[in-house]
């Protein structure tokens, strides 16, 4: 089967999420302040996409942290707290936010750098000092080529392919995902992707989202270029034999 046919077949199984409907967007405006961000995160920031197995479990991790972060943030805004209680909650919020940012690096590209003029426009009417500092921290910062944070989301896409096609090789995944622009990928292209996949597998293990069993380089079921039947697994974990190339 040709590479173009393989690409078409892969895309037919790894679908893009559905765009929110106008009714769904309007319904957000009817939610309470406490319910708004959790609903927004699920509907728009990181929408459900059951065709992407690895994305789904990483998204679940993010949503757990996001729900907890937002709930504590609302507690500070809405509840009469003592100075000690407020201080404790602020520390917990910062910790939750740090965890969310770490998970986001697997789910989406790093944020683009801002020019000084762009940053000043963003913070012009913002009373929050924390928001001002967050915006100004993005001024002029640009990821270096090959920087791990910029490659993490590619590892997630690779595992999505691996879950659907367990026999997919690292070379096949690299050819499909590597953004280097070369017609023929170098060994370091595969090595960079492999290293990020290993880190992602470790991350998933730390969160208990890989089912028990020994990891093998050989899966069973689909191969990218010759199978027509998707592989199905438990909705709450990834099978270990589908994680290493």
Predicted confidence at residue 167, as pLDDT, reads 85
Q: Is the pLDDT of residue 42 over 90?
A: yes
Least confident span in 1-5, 10-14, 97-101, 113-117: 1-5
CA distances from 70 to 64, 73, 85, 122, 145 (A): 10, 5, 16, 22, 34
Residue 144 or residue 110, greater confidence:
110
Tokens of residue 164, six digits? 């659907």
Mean per-residue pLDDT, 69-93: 94
Q: Which residues make Cβ contacts (< 8 Å) with residue 110, sequence separation at least 6?
A: 143, 149, 150
Residue 222 or residue 170, greater confidence:
170
What is the pLDDT confidence band of residue 104, given thresholds at 50, 70 and 90?
A: very high
Predicted confidence at residue 205, as pLDDT, reads 87
Predicted confidence at residue 144, as pLDDT, reads 46
Mean per-residue pLDDT, 129-155: 63
What is the pLDDT confidence band of residue 54, given thresholds at 50, 70 and 90?
A: very high
Mean per-residue pLDDT, 172-185: 91
Q: Is the pLDDT of residue 61 over 70?
A: yes
Do residues 192 and 151 make contact, with C-beta atoms less than 8 angstroms apart?
Answer: yes
**This model's pTM is above 0.85:** no
Q: Is the pLDDT of residue 141 over 50?
A: yes
Predicted confidence at residue 149, as pLDDT, reads 53
Q: Is the pLDDT of residue 211 over 80?
A: no
CA distance 42 to 35: 11
CA distance 95 to 242: 32
CA distances from 106 to 23, 87, 172 (A): 30, 30, 20
Predicted confidence at residue 221, as pLDDT, reads 35
Q: What is the mean pLDDT of the chain?
A: 78
Do residues 163 and 209 make contact, with C-beta atoms less than 8 angstroms apart?
Answer: no
């Amino acid at each position: 089967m040709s590479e173009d046919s393989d690409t078409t077949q892969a895309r037919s199984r790894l679908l893009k999420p559905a765009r929110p409907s106008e009714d769904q967007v309007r319904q957000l405006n009817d939610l309470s302040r406490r319910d708004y961000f959790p609903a927004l995160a699920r509907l728009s920031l990181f929408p459900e996409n059951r065709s992407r197995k690895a994305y789904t479990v990483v998204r679940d991790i993010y949503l757990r942290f996001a729900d907890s972060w937002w709930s504590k943030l609302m507690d500070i805004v809405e509840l009469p707290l003592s100075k000690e209680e407020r201080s404790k909650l602020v520390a917990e919020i910062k910790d939750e936010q740090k965890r969310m940012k770490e998970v986001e690096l697997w789910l989406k590209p790093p944020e683009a750098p801002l020019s000084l003029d762009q940053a000043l426009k963003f913070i012009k009417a913002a009373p929050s000092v924390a928001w001002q500092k967050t915006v100004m921290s993005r001024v002029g910062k640009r990821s270096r080529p090959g920087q791990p944070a910029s490659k993490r989301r590619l590892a997630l896409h690779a595992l999505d392919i691996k879950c659907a096609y367990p026999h997919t090789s690292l070379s096949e995944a690299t050819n499909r995902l590597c953004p280097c622009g070369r017609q023929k990928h170098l060994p370091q292209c595969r090595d960079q992707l492999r290293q990020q996949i290993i880190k992602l597998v470790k991350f998933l293990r730390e969160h208990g989202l890989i089912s028990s069993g020994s990891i093998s380089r050989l899966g069973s079921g689909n191969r990218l270029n010759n199978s027509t039947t998707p592989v199905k697994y438990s909705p709450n974990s990834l099978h270990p034999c589908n994680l290493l190339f």
